[in-house]
Amino acid sequence: MGWVQVLHEDEDLLVVHKPAGLVCHPTKGDAASSLIGRVRLHLGLEAEPQMVHRLDRETSGVMVFGKTDEASAELRRLWLAGFVTKEYLAIVHGHPLTEEGEIDGRLGKHVESGVSIRDQVRADGAWARTRYRVVRRLEREEGAFAVVRLWLDTGRKHQIRIHLAHVGHPVVGDKIYGGDDSLYLDFVQRRLSAEQKGQLLLANQALHAHRLWLPWEGRERGFESRPEETFEAFVRGDRVPWLEDPYDPLRPSEGLAGSAGEG
């Protein structure tokens, strides 16, 4: 396997699967500790790929990079003009009452939270809308769950996760919006208890950027990425063990020799 899992590559574009747990931007010197670093290793250290969009650390899925200045500028124009369509998959707690619908909720800072990056639905926030459709309803020994397909009419920070939690169906494994502040605070301090892990069920939040479409060179191009194995195992009803995070920035670096890493 290479430094990245390539979904498509040509002279202008590189489309990859971002694994859950890998940050997009560097957090330490190791070139393999971030997605952009791994993309540079894949293309050659003299390359200057440009990241025109991003995913949260624990979100997996499709990401597109421009390989040239011209391609990157065109990608940014398409994003700003709203010509890029993204479709997500999520596993949520509970069974939504309707098979499909829209979640409207203005988003702004959660002023009462001890987690500085946490936002919430609030009347004076920025307008946001998420559309969803139920794909499958699940019953596991831990309770009721559903797989939902989602589309964003706006692209606010943590929008999907906030909206789903707001309507009572938080994403499985979400440490910020799936419970109280202690889940995230204890996670960043590497002190999650067995009880907290049991509450989260999955080591990474079950949110996946499944498909992406954009107009390119006169035709629509579509790219798709398969969900992580832990996501699919949970949907199958399998027991999913809590695995050590291979991308934890506090783990000792193994350098660039040896194994090429995890896709």
For 61-95, the pLDDT digits (tens) are: 999 999 999 999 999 999 999 999 999 999 999 99
For 161-176, the pLDDT digits (tens) are: 999 999 999 999 999 9
Give the percent of the chain with pLDDT over 90: 83
**What pTM did the predictor assign?**
0.91
pLDDT at 252 over 90: no
pLDDT value of position 31: 76
Distance between CA atoms of 238 and 253, rounded to whole angstroms?
32
69 is annotated as an active-site residue = no
Residue with tokens 């990474």: 204
* Chain centre to alpha carbon of residue 126: 21
Domains of the chain (ranges; CATH) run 1-83+212-237 (3.30.2350.10), 87-205 (3.30.2350.10)
- Residues 14/52, Cβ–Cβ less than 8 Å: no
The catalytic residue among 10, 12, 56, 153 is 56
Residue 251 has what DSSP assignment? S
Residue 83 Cα distances to 80, 203, 208, angstroms: 8, 33, 20
Instruction: Give counts: helices (H), strands (E), the chain.
Output: 6, 12
